[in-house]
Amino acid sequence: MSKLRPIEYIFSMTNSGTDKLIMILGIPIRINRAGYYKKYCSQIPIEPNKIVFSNFNGGSYGCNPKYIAQEIIRRKLPYELVWLVNSVKNEIAKGVFPPQIKLVGYGTKQALKELAGAKLWIDNQRKNYFIKKGLEKKEGQYFIQTWHGSLGIKKLDADVDAFTNEYKQEWVERSKFDSSMWDYLLTNSDFEDEIFRRALWFNNEIKKFGHPRNDIFFGQCKNFRKKVCDFYGLDSSKKIMLYVPSFRDDGDINCYKLDYEKVLDALQNKFGGEWICISRLHPRTKKFDAELIPQSPRIIDGTFYPDIQELLVSADVAITDYSSCIFDFMLSKKAGFIFATDKEKFNNDRGFYYPLEQTPFPVASDNETLVKNIKCFDYNKYVQDLEKFLHDKGCMEDGHASERVVDLIEHIMSGN
């Protein structure tokens, strides 16, 4: 054991595997965090009609799990639907969940009990938090992993050197165990089939159904635009630029240098109309929203809007650096742009699966180039490049992903 600093000698608390290590006056005390699950949850009987959903480790009603749940509700299937959320009270106050869904606190003992008793788990993120608490999938339980990216350019898990070095071995082993519990993994393309299987350490059955969250681009888009405009009190005649920058693994925020006003003026000059920006930060950077999003009548903080897909389908233009949401947005065939001030550093730190310049989106590393790209934007060429990109990646999105997934769920729940 390394030498302790004086304050650590008096008291410190760290995590080690499934144990919590507490140091008091130099005396180590280990608490097995998996004990509760093994003692009280592992023997809970499986309820044949229960499904437990989770979105981004306790996030709100969104992403693929939301659109799967909506299809289940639309079909009026006799399932008990449970959703794990960070704050039940806050979600009830926001009123975004349908009454058919029961809300349970994500980090609670009740959440472990719900998972232990559910026939099916549906998640778009790893369950490493619960694995540390002792979670194991039992015989007779199923797990559909929907993931949360789409044709993404950022390297994932096993493909990222910084994620697999000697200091991350505990995370790697936990993630591999998590992947081993997935019975099915959803993809939308030949590209994802290859990348997800390797990068996510997945050896079971891939279902190339499309991403349920993307069904929205094939539906009644105008209804969602009205919903977004009503939510923010916007005149529906205004054009919407959606800015969705990604996070940096090192926490850097100096890379976000968009000149909002200049870009909005460029969009207005190119496409006409009166433009506003909805700026939506990544959950890992949302604590900096006051610092990163300027105060202006033309700029709206969309960081806390419940469902990014509704913002995407409502926007007239989208701008990002490396967020995979732009690869959802492209299904709308509306103009998308890349604004990445640190692409060389990001490529060295995280890595790309293919160069940014191979996407259909004009790429800029500074505001002047971004404005120029907007001014010179050629829509016909853009659509041709977009369709070629989707074809080359083997993308099969068609607006029926949720239906395919729920067909699979009915098969699972019926025991066939």
| Phi, psi for 321 (deg, rounded to 5) | -100, -65
> Considering the entire predicted model, what is its pTM?
0.90
CA atoms within 13 A on the CB side of 354: 11
pLDDT tens digit at each of 416 positions of the chain: 445 566 555 666 655 555 555 666 666 655 566 778 888 888 999 999 999 999 999 999 999 999 999 999 999 999 999 999 999 999 998 899 999 999 999 999 999 999 999 999 999 999 999 999 999 999 999 999 999 988 989 999 999 988 888 768 889 999 999 999 999 999 999 999 999 999 999 999 999 999 999 999 998 777 899 999 999 999 999 999 999 999 888 888 888 899 999 999 999 999 999 999 999 988 778 777 788 888 999 999 998 898 999 999 999 999 999 999 999 999 999 999 999 999 999 998 899 999 999 999 999 999 999 999 999 999 999 999 999 999 999 999 999 999 999 999 999 999 85
C-alpha span between 34 and 20 (Å, rounded): 10
Considering the domain 220-392 in this protein, what is its CATH number? 3.40.50.12580
| Phi, psi for 31 (deg, rounded to 5) | -115, 120
Contacts of residue 150, defined as CB under 8 A and 6 or more positions apart, other chains included, come to 188, 192, 211, 214, 324, 325, 327, 328
Fold classified for 38-214+400-413 = Rossmann fold (3.40.50)
Domain limits of the chain? 6-32, 38-214+400-413, 220-392
Buried b or exposed e, range 225-242, using 16+ CB within 10 angstroms = beebbeeeebeeeebbbb
Q: What is the 3-state secondary structure (H, E, C) of 323-385?
A: CCHHHHHHHHCCCEEEECCCHHHHHHHCCECCCHHHCCCCEECCHHHHHHHHHCCCHHHHHHH
> Is there a common fold for 38-214+400-413 and 220-392?
yes
